[in-house]
Amino acid sequence: MTDASARLSSAISDRYLVERELGQGGMATVYLAEDLRHGRRVAIKVLREELSASLGKERFLREIRVAAALQHPHILPLYDSGEADGLLFYVMPYVDGPSLRDKLIKEGELPIGDAVRILRDVADALTEAHRHGVVHRDLKPENVMLRGRHALVMDFGVAKALSEATGRQSLTTVGIALGTPTYMAPEQAVADPHVDHRADIYAFGVMAYELLAGRPPFTGGNAQQILAAHVTAAAEPVTTHRSLPPVLASMVMRCLEKRPADRWQSAEELITQLEAVLTPSGGVTPTATVPIAAVSRHAYRRPATVMAMLGVLAVLGFGAWKVAARRSPQPVPTASVVTVKRVGVLPFESRSRDTSDAYLGDGMATDLTT
């Protein structure tokens, strides 16, 4: 057990039993613990000691309190927060599942349906937070946990506490990055003091790009080069890496506009775009046109449609016969001899693997033969 974990464990032993370390990040270490009062497993995130000293208890806990008020199915709630032996910490439910980063490492680009479902949950969480005036400022796959088929966004309010408490320069001095360069909006990269919820829209676009393309729009080099790219470089169209439904590709690229005013202006707009992808007309399958065979398969299964097609084809066949008759006059038939032109129609070929409606092709051919 490290010195910090031993100090934490001793300081909160009346409330929590610290079991083991779950992981470390740039600004905190996460521990698995048991909530002794409520008999449940929790995750305790402890800020780095130098960061705790820079922040100050009151300012940090004030921002955490605002985030703790968020109650939503796709936001990981905050159970508790405090100071223990000079260490600032906050407590969340323990999610026995992977982070979105874990999923990306394992799978690379995600199936379109999976990506859209996850993004829909994240956009829903952002909508709720923004409605309450809470901006995440550090949205990234590491801050999205997966529980079954649902996504949970965590760490709302923490980045704001860091930025308002110390400012970017002093945080750089202690080696802490405010936001992750790969997902930072241009206005964050230049330390604009007026960052608002549209920075989250940009980070959402970066994350969506990565889920669909298997890589973020700007990579390589060091943090400064990535930040410069966010400010000055145009991202390659996401369709450069993968074929996508146009509405989905358009949604992603608009999120990545450099000027906040040119992006989607709310997370609710993102939900509208994602739901359009999920509708039959939106087409999760990225095709520009619908094959005739696909239309035929569905049409043949609707009796009313089948009858209408039969009627149209019958009229067309009769019309063609009449035209031919006018162009080639025939002698008036006598009662004993009738000459009839016959039109043969070959059986229709079904392009479907389903053979249950094959009889329709034979029947149509028979009915149209004169």
Q: Which residues are catalytic?
A: 138
Sign of CA pseudo-dihedral 205, 207, 210, 215 = positive
Distance between CA atoms of residues 257 and 264, nearest Å:
9
Identify the bridge partners of residue 30 per DSSP, sorted by sequence position.
Answer: 23, 45
Which of 297, 269, 336 is CA-nearest to residue 124? Answer: 269
CB 330 within 8 A of CB 339: yes
- Cα angle for residues 101, 149, 26 (degrees, 5° grid): 20
Distance between CA atoms of residues 232 and 190, nearest Å:
11
* Other Cβ atoms within 10 Å of 14 Cβ, number: 7
Distance between CA atoms of residues 50 and 87, nearest Å:
9
Amino acid at 79: Y
Tokens of 153: 């966004």
Amino acid at 134: V
Three-class secondary structure of residue 299 per DSSP: helix
- H/E run at residue 87: strand 87-93
For the chain, how are helix, strand and coil distributed in percent, rounded to 5? 50, 15, 40
260 phi, psi to nearest 5 deg: -55, -35
- Cα angle for residues 132, 133, 136 (degrees, 5° grid): 105
Tokens of 344: 């043969």
Torsion of Cα atoms, 47 then 53 then 60 then 13, to 10°: 60
